[in-house]
Amino acid sequence: MLKRFTISLVLLQLALSCDADKGELLYSNSFGNPENVRNWTMEGPGKLTFENGWMTLYSPNETMHHVFWCPQEFPNSFIAEWDAQNLNSEAGLAIVFFAAKGMNGEDIFDSALNRRNGTFKQYVQGDIRSYHISYYANAAHNKNRGHANLRKNNTFTLLQKGAEGIPTESMSIHKIRLEKHQRQITLWVDSKKVIHYVDKDDNYWKTGKIGFRQMQWSRFRYRDFKIWALKPTKKYD
């Protein structure tokens, strides 16, 4: 009983600490119905269904990988949170792209940029730049990888091999928290810190868009996506 109480107290303290860093709410989306995402952009043959307050993202007949982009651009420092639940533990991969812009600062939907259709190379070696974290990794060709990766694009540079994100066999609901504090990037799954890295390159990526990517075998559902500005009093840790 004492051990359970101690764990609960630690989780409460962590939650209060995280909430203390949140500034202005920049974006909020329950993902509860199609109208909520009518301004989002799907690249690749991804399909959406909505039930019981959740948005499910998948590719019919596991045809092809896909990326679903939020229309809003976010600042150099932010906190993003969302709930995610895996619905197919046999295979899949879930990624979040962030700080995504054209290589010359264009919006990623600028007509001067090449069109994208979900093919991975277009995102990691094409004419847009971003960071991405694979917080669920169980690809059909690389089963149960056991760790998350933080990469910097468009050079597909591995910045950090982190801890395991969402466990391969887990079909529970998980809280994902992504914090970008200028050049410092941290991602938690529930209370577990999975990625913690400072990009010391002078040419680190700053503002940009956020998108969810899944491989063709993936079937995840999402809810309660929110993004806050990071309070200027927050310090690097």
3-state SS, 10-53, equals: HHHHHHHHHHHCEEEEEEEECCCCHHHHCCCEEECCCEEEEECC
Quick: pLDDT tens for 18-72. 688 999 999 999 999 999 999 999 999 999 999 999 999 999 999 999 999 999 9
237 part of a folded domain: no
Q: How many domains does the chain have?
A: 1
206 part of a folded domain: yes
Per-residue pLDDT at 13 exceeds 60? no
235 part of a folded domain: no
Quick: pLDDT tens for 188-232. 999 999 999 999 999 999 999 999 999 999 999 999 999 999 988
Answer with the residue of higher pLDDT: 180 or 12: 180
236 part of a folded domain: no
85 part of a folded domain: yes
Q: What is the pLDDT of residue 53?
A: 96
b/e 55-83 (16+ beta carbons within 10 angstroms → b): bbbbbeebeebbbbbbeeebebbbbbbbb
Q: What is the pLDDT of residue 10?
A: 46
DSSP string, 91-103: SEEEEEEEEEEET
Q: Between vectors from CA 171 to CA 169 and to CA 173, what angle results, nearest 5°?
A: 135
Residue identified by tokens 């962030």 is 98
Rounded average pLDDT over 139-157 = 88
Rounded average pLDDT over 120-129 = 96
Which CATH number covers residue 174? Answer: 2.60.120.200
Percent of the chain with pLDDT over 70: 91
- Average pLDDT along the chain: 92
Write out the residue range of the structural domain in which residue 155 sits: 2-230
